[in-house]
Structure 1
Amino acid sequence: MTQLLTSLHDEQGQLTTDMADEAWIARFDQLADRGYVIIPDFLPSDEVTALYRYTQSLEENDWSLAGVGREHNHTVNTRVRSDHIRWLQPAIAAEAVYLNTMDELRVRLNRRLFMGLFDYECHLARYQAGAFYQKHLDAFKGRSNRVLTTVFYLNPEWSADDGGELVIYGSRGQVLETILPQQNTLVVFLSEVFVHEVKTAHRERFSITGWFRHNTSNAARIDPQT
């Protein structure tokens, strides 16, 4: 498949990406029709390779054990999930490249589907051998500002024997998709609709999980991250 993004460099030499509207129209329609979409070859190969190498270069103290829930309901429960995460920050050049790409996608989604997406938050996820994430929803109706979940895979040469699949379930509990975490694949789905899980990984697995959000700030409270 032709890559959906083309690489550019800005005046400072920082790698950026530019999306061609025509390449995304069918993908937008698929997301609108069924609530999720799987996009192979999301980034130029050199960009995804750079992200993977950057992730591998991180030190142990750059990662935190992932928790469940948000704000005052946030807890760590390794019986539910056992991955480690690192929130991406725009001040770090290697992380800003991906954040800029996803902000451009946010603009395109709003233009095509009128979704009113306000911002995007995401983290690197590291699943060591034996790590998993049990069935869950990323958002509950009326209780979260998360609208769309995105998962982007970084590992090259991932096989079925390596595990770590993302399973997306339908409203009756039926399996809709079992997605092997192959490098440069982006999965996007409605956060309030689809129960999903990450099967046990049998070797170290890296991905970027994120959420496009609505703005629920008010005069007394700033919209939280995480």
Structure 2
Amino acid sequence: MDAESLSSELNTELVFDRIADALSETGYAVLPAALPATMGDALLARAASFDHSVFRAAGVGRADKFQLNALVRNDEICWLTPDNEVEAAYLAWMEALRMGLNRRLFMGLFDYEGHFARYAPGAFYKKHVDAFKGRTNRVLSTVFYLNPNWEVADGGHLLMYDHRDNAIATISPLMGTLVVFLSDRFPHEVSQASRLRYSIAGWFRVNASLGSHIDPPQ
């Protein structure tokens, strides 16, 4: 391993340490410049290159509970796949984070799913919790932001609350910022954006399979 690769690996392990420490102390972590800048640039270029037909209206709920509700959210999404090298690199980083957190916190994280999210001017996502009712498989949420030169007036902030509905964090969707938090612990929302806003939302899941019921679904 050359010196540059060794330095990158050490830096990544330090990032994982910081995330694990923050999750243990507060249940959430906010890290600027957590991933390599080149990866963020490539992901933004990838998201911005999509034809409008690639993104689809985002819904709420899962399986037979899924529905479109523009009063709750009106962003658009495109799921990540390992078939593209840019998306695959991000998924590989998240896989390394999964293993790193399992080593540090024994969380039993099983797999990861994620999607690009595009918020057109005027788009928002009302307050919600990521863990689905009746299912515990989404245990850790991630958001990675892809917006250079974002200003406060641009809106689109992530607002996080505690279980008593007290505001605990207002996070700007600035390029390179990574947010990681316990999925069932923090209600959160995305305030209305006034300019085009990109991010990647994702979730680490545990294996909640029981008998013939496979969860996560294959």
TM normalised by structure 1 equals 0.89
| Other structure's SS at 1:62 match | coil
**Judging changes above 3 Å, is the alpha-carbon distance between structure 1 residues 47 and 22 closer, same or farther for their aligned structure 2 residues?**
closer
The match for 2:30 is 38
Partner of 1:72: 64
1:25 aligns with 2:13: no
Structure 1 residue aligned with 2:76 = 84
Question: Which of residues 171, 175, 189 is equivalent to 1:197?
Answer: 189
> Deviations 1:152-172 (Å, cap 9, x if unpaired)?
000111000100000000121
Q: Which runs of 4+ in 1 moved over 4 A?
A: none
Matched, 1:117 2:106: no
The alpha carbon displacement at 1:140 in A equals 4.7
Tell me the residue number matched to 2:46.
Answer: 54
Residues of 1 paired with 2:27 and 2:4: CA distance?
A: 28
CA distance in 1, matches of 2:216, 2:12: 32
Aligned residues: 213
**Deviation per residue, 1:159-202 (Å, 9 max, x gap):** 00100000000121111000010000000111001000000000
What amino acid maps onto 1:134 in structure 2?
K
Residues 199 and 7 of structure 1: is their aligned pair in 2 closer, same or farther, counting only changes over 3 Å? farther
Structure 2's unaligned 5+ residue stretches are none
CA distance 1:61–1:209, change in 2 (3 Å): same
Task: Specify whether residues 44 and 63 from structure 1 end up closer, same or farther in structure 2 by C-alpha distance, changes over 3 A only.
Answer: same
**In structure 2, do the counterparts of structure 1 residues 155 and 75 end up closer, same or farther at CA, with 3 Å as the change threshold?**
same
SS at match of 1:168: strand
| Conserved 8 A contact 1:88-1:123 | yes
Q: Give the equivalent residue in structure 2 for 1:208.
A: 200
Letter of the 1:45 counterpart: A
CA contact (8 A) 2:111 2:204 kept: yes
RMSD (Å) for aligned C-alpha atoms? 1.9
Deviation at residue 44 of structure 1 after TM alignment = 1.5
Is residue 166 from structure 1 mapped to residue 127 from structure 2 by the alignment?
A: no
Q: Which whole-Å CA distance do the structure 1 matches of 2:64 and 2:135 have between them?
A: 13
In 2, Cα distance between equivalents of 1:42 and 1:114? 22
Partner of 1:3: none
Identity %: 49
TM-score computed with the length of structure 2 as normaliser: 0.92
1:42–1:196 distance in 2 versus 1, CA, 3 Å: same
Q: Quickly say closer, same or farther: Cα 1:225–1:66, change in 2 above 3 A.
A: farther
1:103-142 correspondence runs (5 A): 103-140=95-132, 142=134
Distance in 2 (alpha carbons) for counterparts of 1:21 and 1:49: 22
Deviates more, 1:216-225 or 1:61-70: 216-225
Cα 1:78/1:116, change in 2 over 3 Å: same
CA-CA distance at 1:111 after TM superposition: 0.3
Contact 2:39 2:86 in 1 (8 A): no
Q: 1:149 aligns with which of 138, 141, 150?
A: 141
In the other structure, the counterpart of 2:55 is 63
